[in-house]
Amino acid sequence: MIKVAVLGYGNIGSGVVQVLLKNKETIAKKAGDEIVPACVLDLRDFPGDVMEDKVVKDINLITQNPEISIVVETMGGTKPAYAFVKACLEAGKHVATSNKELVAAHGPELLEIAKAHHVSFLFEASVGGGIPIIRPLVSSITSDAVTEITGILNGTTNYMLTKMSEDGLDYDAVLEDAQERGYAERNPAADVEGHDARRKIAILSSLAFGKYVDYEDVYTEGITKITSADFAYAKILGSRIKLFGTSKKKEYGSISAMVCPVMITNEHPLFAVNDVMNAILVRGESMGDLMFYGAGAGKLPTASAVVADVVNAARNPKITEIEPYEPGKMTVSDHLKSTHSYFVRVKGSDANAVAESFKAKQIVDAGIADEFGLITAEWAENEFDALCENYPVVSVIRLAK
């Protein structure tokens, strides 16, 4: 019998216990042994809950309990999650977490500690909720050089952008709707400003390119400036607006990485990823395009991913499944030197003259008074920004392909 402790008995933590109990037999078969939730660490009590008698308040009761071999961390944030996870790894326990803040900030150190103590630090649920993407990156996409990884990594903003696109609603209205449905927090900054997607693309890039990508090095724009007028143009262009986290391999061991809204046509593999769904596109030299699609959040999908990590740790207790990254930090190139085509809205009526300056490939009229849209040629961001200074630019969205 393998005993698991769960740190943090909130939405995901209680989902983990639920999945462990509900799928007990399936899990025992896959793990080769019964896996039981032995205790949960939480400051609260849970009268009437199945774990009511198994709540502990002191992390030492877990780190010093030799019967517990696997710890699940679903507290979120880095304080006290970081100290607790570190202590558990140092005590020789495998840790499976859903906590992207923790992995994005302390992943390199925690992977090193796990390796030194012959255990695994696992974080399948930290990106893409229930989508298996971490393990495929570590164990399946091993024979090929990854050239690009791009994802719709935040379900809340994808829901909002889908609603704006389909119902013609404005930003404030869809935010309110998302909050009512419980998709968006009362303080929605982590989602709508792109911070959540930023941490996730940093984690994926670290694994795909083998070296720690600091999320603070990833240039990030959220969706707060997107308006229903932008969608009016997108509709005419047969395009959709999505929040992408993306990173690409560059020469000389560096990458480009960015989180920003993009406009895509139905040629793009992520075009059909709508509502709260997430998807991750991995491009490789030999293998071509792979896409992984599924529920990017939600109690049970996310808990399923955590438990999958627990099952792997139980099956292969002597293996450190995810090796530490190469030492050092990945160089992330300056986004101002990256090149894109842009959709740009400009005030006025003299579209042709402006189009010429931007080397526009297309002029778009969405029937909005005193403005027009352009699809520009490819420009480096700094050149493009300089160009925009000369015109009454209303909004800009990068094109992705």
Site for its own copies in 285-314 (CB under 8 A): 285-295, 298, 300-301, 303-308, 310-312
- Binders of its own copies among residues 201 to 240 (CB under 8 A) are 210
Has 11 been labeled as part of a binding site? yes
Q: Is 10 annotated as a binding residue?
A: yes
Backbone φ and ψ for 343, nearest 5 degrees, come out as -95, 125
Nearer to its own copies, 226 or 277 (CB): 277
Closest distance to its own copies from the beta carbon of 350 (Å): 40
Based on the shown chain and the rule CB under 8 A, indicate whether residue 327 belongs to the binding site for its own copies.
no
CA 145, CA 208: separation in Å to the nearest integer? 9
Element (H, E) at 13: helix 11-22
Under the binding rule (CB under 8 A), the answer on residue 143 touching its own copies is yes
Q: Distance (Å, rounded) from C-alpha 302 to C-alpha 321?
A: 20
- Name the pairing type of β-strands 342-347 and 35-41: unpaired
Name the strand (E) or helix (H) holding 207: helix 195-209
305: left (phi over 0), alpha (psi -120 to 50) or beta: alpha
Interface with its own copies includes 31 (CB under 8 A)? yes
Nearer to its own copies, 155 or 373 (CB): 155
Q: To the nearest whole angstrom, how small is the minimum distance from the Cβ of residue 200 to its own copies? A: 17
- Which residues lie closer than 8 Å to 83 by C-beta, 6 or more apart? none
CB of 294 to its own copies, least distance (A): 4
CB of 117 to its own copies, least distance (A): 18
- Does the annotation place 8 within a ligand binding site? yes
What does 239-291 look like in DSSP terms, one character per residue? EEEEEEEEEEE-STTEEEEEEEEEEEETTSTTTT--TTEEEEEEEETTTEEEE
> Within its chain, how far is the Cα of 115 from the centroid?
25
* Residues with a known catalytic role: 200
> Considering only residues 76, 80, 284, 317, which one is a binding residue for its own copies as defined by CB under 8 A?
284
How far apart are the C-alpha atoms of 104 and 61, rounded to whole Å? 27
In the list 142, 182, 251, 353, the residue contacting its own copies (rule: CB under 8 A) is 142
14 is in an annotated binding site: yes
Query: Which CB sits closer to its own copies, 4 or 223?
Result: 4
CA atoms of 98 and 124, how far apart (whole Å): 7
Q: Which is nearer to its own copies, 51 or 208 (CB)?
A: 208
Which residues are CB-neighbours of 176 under 8 A, at least 6 positions away? none
**Taking the complex as a whole, how short is the minimal distance between the CB of residue 292 and its own copies, in angstroms?**
6
Judged by CB, which is closer to its own copies: 63, or 246? 246
CA torsion 248→249→250→254, rounded to 10°?
110
**Does 137 show up as a binding residue in the annotation?**
no
- Binding-site positions for NADP(+): 7-14
Contact residues toward its own copies (CB under 8 A) are 19-20, 22-23, 26-27, 29-32, 124, 130-132, 135-136, 139-145, 210, 269, 271-272, 284-295, 298, 300-301, 303-308, 310-312, 316, 319, 323
- Binding-site positions for L-homoserine: 185
